[in-house]
Amino acid sequence: MQNLFDLSGKIALVTGATHGLGMAMTKALGSAGATLVVIGNTPAKMEKALEEYRNDGFDVRGYLFDVTNEAQVKENIEAIERELGPVEILVNNAGMIKRVPALEMEVDEFRKVLDVDLTGPFIMSKHVARYMVERKRGKIINICSMMSELGRDTVSAYAAAKGGLKMLTRNLATEWAKHNIQVNGLGPGYFATDQTAPIRVNGHPFNDFIVNRTPAGRWGDPEDLGGTIVFLASKASDFVNGQIIYVDGGILATIGKPSNE
């Protein structure tokens, strides 16, 4: 059974893996044996991230390019395949959010969010999958969001992109299943990260809202994503395709946290 989850000898490419949840998921893949390829677009963040990965004992490489630039993506995927070997796992994690009321959002801002959060995963998947199709195997994991299912004030572009990513996941799964490629999504709930630290204090309205809205009664720990990302990247999920697995402490399952009575 343990062999089903073993990623030894496999190359896992993760976009947006220089910090936060992307780094936590990437470390989980590395802990399962994968060779890590981290994609980013900020040299300083990349240098710091690679140092942390290596200090933790992971076999890791870093590449700097823009996932929304198809020419750069094509060139770098070719280089990775040539220099390191076959990419068997792709995690499309890079993303951005702009919290702007819809009436105030500029169209260019809206398009930018869709470009990063939806078009980027399409471009990456397209160019990685060309090699996967030839080899007749591969795992693609798109990092969706609860905003793939729910709306919320000020995040119209992000929710539109993540909803689109959910359907892109299902469509690519449909097209590429015949090539033994599984395309699935992972949707994190609300997690304890450096970015959420200022609002995760007792008494803060949003902290109280999340704790009270989540049946588990807490924010997620980044390590809570490890089991799901390894499952979706491993042989254990070979007959799982086109699914979005939400790791959210039960938020999407209920209209409210159960009482303690």
Point out the residues that are catalytic. Answer: 158
Which ranges of the chain would DSSP assign to H, the alpha helix?
20-31, 43-55, 70-83, 107-114, 120-135, 156-176, 205-213, 226-233
Question: What are the phi and psi torsion angles at 193 (to 5°)?
Answer: -135, 175
The sheet with strand 60-64 has its strands ordered as 60-64, 35-40, 11-15, 87-92, 138-143, 181-188, 244-247
What gap in Å lies between CA 74 and CA 89, rounded to an integer?
17
Overall residue count recorded for the chain in this entry: 261
What gap in Å lies between CA 39 and CA 65, rounded to an integer?
7
What gap in Å lies between CA 232 and CA 191, rounded to an integer?
20
Q: State the Cα torsion 132-126-116-198 to the nearest 10°.
A: -20
